[in-house]
Amino acid sequence: MPYKIITLVNASLVLVMVLCFYFYMGISPDFEASSIKIKGNNLLSSSEILKKTGIQPHVNIFRIKPAEIKDRLERDPWIKTATVRRELPNRIVIDLQERKPFIIWMSGADPEGKAYLVDQEGVILKEFHEGDDAGFNLPVLIKESPLASTLIEGEQERAYIQKVIPEIAKILQADIPLFKQIKAITLSRVGNVTLIPFTQTPEVRIHLPAYGNNLEYLKALLPQLDVAHLAYIDLRFKKRVIIKPNNS
């Protein structure tokens, strides 16, 4: 019996010591956040990110909630992922993966004709204005007039655009020289896209639902073509490819 009492007393003392230690950690100035290290931010400034975290000056690092700060940061469309961790004795580390602008989307449903920067997953980052450095040299996505006649407007249009942009990204990332300098992309409701280059090379017309086959046809054709003298290459049809020379 005395042995059990001693064991219980010892356990109680250990528990009290642990609680005292945690209390000390929670109030000691030794654990005040004197350093907040932010990594992975190339587009957002450190001051912008710090403001979004809501971390107050000299907060004890054990009083912050990393999961809450992570959620707060990832609400920003520019931030794809965020990790937040404590480093003893007084540092908080925030590691970010930012989204990058991939395309400028000209919204036909917007009565003011607004444009938006969109990443390659179809996430809208912000409204785009002429002269914005973030949109430098990016292709512009424009709807063809047939799309307007299908009554795709507002949120419907946005959902459709967000669905097709990842597919367009896969096309532009294909190992095809013609796709390295695309200035504009037109899109129809039935999933046809036209890639319009900066240079004097042909437009390429692709049917999105079958873009994998379209790209294979194009890779096989290109070595046989003098692309400098072509107006367009049309791959939208299942059993034929249309190649139109330019008039010059």
Q: What's the pLDDT at 244?
A: 94
**Which pLDDT score, from 0 to 100, does residue 110 have?**
57
92, 37 contact by CB (below 8 A): yes
Which pLDDT score, from 0 to 100, does residue 248 have? 60
Q: Show the domains of the chain with their CATH numbers.
A: 2-97 (3.10.20.310), 103-245 (3.40.50.11690)
What are the tens digits of pLDDT across the range 158-211? Answer: 788 888 999 999 999 998 988 988 999 998 877 899 999 988 789 999 999 888
- Give the pLDDT confidence score for residue 23 in this predicted structure: 47
The partner residues of 97 in beta bridges, in order of sequence, read 81
- Are 66 and 85 within 8 A, CB to CB? yes
Q: Give the model's pLDDT for residue 30.
A: 63
Going by their DSSP bridges, the two strands 192-197 and 203-207 should be labelled as antiparallel
Dist CA 203 CA 185 (whole Å): 10
What residue type is assigned to position 227 of the chain?
Answer: V
57 prior amide bond cis, ω within 30? no
pLDDT at 14: 52
pTM of the model: 0.79
H or E element at residue 117:
strand 115-118
pLDDT of residue 21: 45
The pair of three-digit structure tokens given for residue 152, joined into one six-digit string: 């795709």
Two structure tokens written together for 77: 């469309």
Low-confidence ranges of the chain (pLDDT < 70): 1-30, 108-112, 145-154, 248
Number of H helices, E strands in the chain: 6, 12
